[in-house]
Amino acid sequence: MNETGVHKTVDVLLKLLTQEQWEVRHGGLLGIKYALAVRQDVINTLLPKVLTRIIEGLQDLDDDVRAVAAASLVPVVESLVYLQTQKVNIFAFFSYRAFYICCVAC
């Protein structure tokens, strides 16, 4: 698939993230996760397009959606630091928050 096709596919996946059903949001984020993992060659244009929506996924009420949002960042950690340095503090906050909530629940 060429770069235009990747971006059109990701646009459809981003629309899924606006749905009320958690399963649909989960599926959209799974698709984004795999697009980020497989198409590292277009990460410079793809990451800025999806990053805000991934951050929203980290704040989702459903734990499965939050988990896949976090997992979608794993393949792009290095690119995230270089391309989106202003967002790194946000991720640190959510990581700490998730850790704290987990510790309190246990």
Residue by residue, DSSP assigns 31-83 as HHHHHHHH-GGGHHHHHHHHHHHHHHHHT-SSHHHHHHHHHHHGGGHHHHHHH
Whole-number Å distance between alpha carbons of 99 and 25: 23
What integer pLDDT is reported at residue 99 of this predicted model?
46
Give the pLDDT score at 105: 46
Q: Please give the pLDDT value at position 74.
A: 86
pTM for the predicted model, two decimal places: 0.78
| Model confidence at 1: pLDDT above 50 | yes
Provide the residue ranges of all domains of the chain, joining segments of one domain with +.
3-105
- The predicted pLDDT at position 95 comes to 55
pLDDT tens per residue across span 48-99:
899 989 989 988 999 999 999 989 988 888 777 766 565 555 555 555 555 4
Neighbour tally for 16: CB within 10 Å: 19
